[in-house]
Structure 1
Amino acid sequence: MGKKLFMVLLGCKPPGRHTEQHDMYFGISDALKDLVNPMQAFWPEAKGEMHVDIWRHVTSVMGYNVKVVPKGTPQKNNKKLYFVNLGGYREDDFEEYHYKQLVVAESTEEAASLARETDFYKQVVTPHIDDHYGVDVDDIFEIMDILPLDCKQTYSLEITTDKSAGNDPLHIGYLKFIDLL
């Protein structure tokens, strides 16, 4: 089997912080365990004291198959894979909520539009402009742009239509790096 694209929600409590913090990591490897060192390099402030909260081997996204291929492989369409982070607030709740998702689209604008079709976004009528209640697109990135440099130099993502393709299963739960090795 070829290389795999992984989407990983990392968690840690860096020195001097009062609450656990999270960030998203995307990498390409044969297995999740092979990404431990690259994940540590990605978040040096964590000083290796981090864990995986959720991970996913990305092969299917909203009616498309996603495959890691060698860089330079001719693409069959203009589709790209995007990471979208929706953020919002609820009245009387001291929290900013986030909903992370992958979207297949031809542009950032199309990806943002598709993200706004989610139940998370539709539950709040008013868009959030940092001082209002509601939800908005906080972050949006093309996956190829946020992969580690060695992955960008070696691989591409091939996206093909497969209307029967749903979304990949999520592996949810606290997982220490030591348990990956």
Structure 2
Amino acid sequence: MPSLYMVMLGGRHARANTEVHDVVFAIGDDLKDIYPQLKAAWFGEQKGLHIDAWAKLNGVKQHAHSYKIEFAQHQPRHDDLKLFLINLGGYCPDEFGELHRYKFVVAQSASEAKQQAKTLLPTFWQKGHTDRILDIDDCIPVDHVAGRYLHLSEGTFISTVWENTYLILE
């Protein structure tokens, strides 16, 4: 049964001084199954492209609700609940650079998702802010991946599995 994967890719770009990263989504039965999707989504050099972290999601828990992720060939209705990735950014007083946390939010709209995201900022961060969520509009539903549409329905699901790792894509 296919699952939604969220993957933190790392690699080089011709105009970058340091390694760069991006979060991408793919659908597959296992991690190796999605390698072609990951390579196609990468904007930098293919040589040295690697996975720094991955998560296999079959659903999302939010408050007292559990939402199962399902895939279909048709778009969800306008008023259906949607899945949003929230990229939270902030600073710690004793660390150089911006830190990030990635959270999923279930909401009917981008504005509702942003409101929920404001409650997720870690309290130890200085100058916390909500970064790009996946597009220039700041918040886009994670609703179309690998040619399939995501639908959420209340129900039980296999728990999320994730790992911080270093896997070279070959």
**Shorter chain as normaliser: what TM range?**
0.7 to 0.9
Aligned to 2:87: 85
- Aligned amino acid, residue 171 of structure 1: E
Aligned to 2:108: 106
Aligned to 1:47: 46
Q: CA RMSD in A?
A: 2.5
1:156 is aligned to 2:149: yes
User: Partners in 2 of 1:104 and 1:134 — Cα distance?
Assistant: 25
Instruction: Give the drift of 1:165.
Output: 6.6
1:70-149 matched pairs, under 5 angstroms: 70-72=72-74, 78-91=80-93, 93-118=95-120, 120-124=121-125, 133-140=126-133, 141-144=140-143, 147=145
Q: What do residues 56-75 of structure 1 show as CA deviations (whole Å, max 9, x unaligned)? A: 11112123333232222776
Give the secondary structure class of the aligned counterpart of 2:160. coil
Which of the numbers 170, 175, 179 marks the counterpart of 2:167? Answer: 175
Q: Identity, % of aligned pairs?
A: 29
User: Partners in 2 of 1:26 and 1:80 — Cα distance?
Assistant: 15
User: Partners in 2 of 1:69 and 1:37 — Cα distance?
Assistant: 19
Distance 1:167 1:122, change over 3 A: farther
Indicate the structure with greater helix content: 1
Q: What is the TM-score of this pair, normalised by structure 2?
A: 0.79
- Aligned amino acid, residue 106 of structure 1: Q
Q: What do residues 39-89 of structure 1 show as CA deviations (whole Å, max 9, x unaligned)? A: 1121142224211111111112123333232222776x7210001101112
Contact kept in structure 1, 2:72 and 2:149, CA below 8 Å:
yes
User: Partners in 2 of 1:167 and 1:122 — Cα distance?
Assistant: 27
1:18 is aligned to 2:17: yes
Unaligned stretches of 5+ residues in structure 1: 125-132
- The aligned length equals 160
Give the secondary structure class of the aligned counterpart of 1:14. coil
Aligned to 2:136: none
User: Partners in 1 of 2:47 and 2:101 — Cα distance?
Assistant: 26
Unaligned stretches of 5+ residues in structure 2: 134-139
Distance 1:59 1:93, change over 3 A: same
User: Partners in 2 of 1:34 and 1:166 — Cα distance?
Assistant: 19
